[in-house]
Amino acid sequence: MSERFTYDIYNDCCPAREVLGRLADKWALLILDRLEQGPVRFNSLRRDIQGISQKMLTQSLRRLERDGLVHREVQPTVPVTVEYSLTRLGQTLTETVTVLTHWAEHNMNAIIAAQTAYDEAQQA
Amino acid sequence: MSERFTYDIYNDCCPAREVLGRLADKWALLILDRLEQGPVRFNSLRRDIQGISQKMLTQSLRRLERDGLVHREVQPTVPVTVEYSLTRLGQTLTETVTVLTHWAEHNMNAIIAAQTAYDEAQQA
DNA sequence: CAGCATCCTCGGGGATACTG
DNA sequence: CAGTATCCCCGAGGATGCTG
């Protein structure tokens, strides 16, 4: 019966595809990974995740919030500050995402080596 | 020292970002997930993964092959057939990816519910 | 069967300026 | 501070047709 789930994802109209599509967003992955370390404010996130534009950060956060993965809390300070944190659902996801990012960090050398080998083989 | 790794990924020029970028490709995720079930030929993959174009499949496969995640084996039949399978490195990755796709399938209902709630709250 | 090549479009996403 | 709004461009990616 777990097989039933395994195959669903290949279907074009499957909502799980939609969900996967969310994860297939490098910014989302990085944001989730960052949020796992604790609540962060908008500009802090912006600084931490180098290279992300303000537009993309806002967009990704909104999407993550809409998906129920991230919680957005407005603090009534002056000027206003907004704190982002993981929801319970988001936490269950980041556990997996973290494994993924760690995999990326630990295996990047192997990948770079593979790329070099591939490119050289292609040359000849 | 695991903290050192954790922070690397936020750096703009970090190769791990590149790697994550690879994973941030819904087709790649689906392909890896499919290949975990065993070697598959090109057109079979094309059929299994509904909605993918020939161009995208070729492109994703080439990238995965270049990254050393997927093995491409040409069979000298007539006409030629090509079989794709996971490399050892690819296998270590798919273990994680599978967890991710399963998460997507098992939590899609919760996500859809969150979206509906969000949209209704937005309406008012 | 397993691609490569070409054309074309459509929207992702950067840059910039403004606001509560 | 944490956004929204606008303009604009480039490249991801679909459609189509051809080949070893």
pLDDT one-digit tens code per residue, A78-108: 999 999 999 999 999 999 888 888 898 899 8
Structure tokens given for B23: 């994973």
Nearest CA in chain A to B33: A6
Contact A15 B112 (CB under 8 A): yes
- Measure in Å the smallest separation between the Cα of B90 and chain A Cα atoms: 10
More confident of the two residues A104 and A16: A104
pLDDT of B7 higher than 90: no
Nearest CA in chain A to B47: A10
What are the extents of the domains in chain A?
Answer: 16-123
| Check whether domain B16-123 has CATH 1.10.10.10, yes or no | yes
Q: Mean pLDDT for chain A?
A: 88
Task: Choose among A46, A41, A48: nearest CA to A82.
Answer: A41
CA distances from A78 to A45, A74, A86, B111 (A): 19, 11, 24, 33
Least confident of A49-58, B3-12, B27-36, B41-50: B3-12
Q: Mean pLDDT for chain B?
A: 88
pLDDT at B22: 77
Nearest nucleotide (CA of B53 to C1'): D14
Helices (H) and strands (E) in chain B, counts: 6, 3
Residues B21-58: pLDDT tens digits?
777 788 998 999 999 999 999 999 999 999 999 999 99
Q: How far apart are CA A75 and CA A124, in angstroms?
A: 61
Name every chain B residue with its beta carbon within 8 A of the beta carbon of A104: 9, 16, 19-20, 23
pLDDT at A98: 85
Task: Choose among B38, B33, B37: nearest CA to B64.
Answer: B33
Burial of B3 (0-12, 13-18, 19+ CB in 10 A): exposed
More confident of the two residues A25 and B78: B78
More confident of the two residues B106 and B101: B106
Footprint of strand D on the protein (CB under 7 A): A 41-44, 54-55, 58, 61-62, 72, 79-83; B 25, 52-56, 59, 79-80
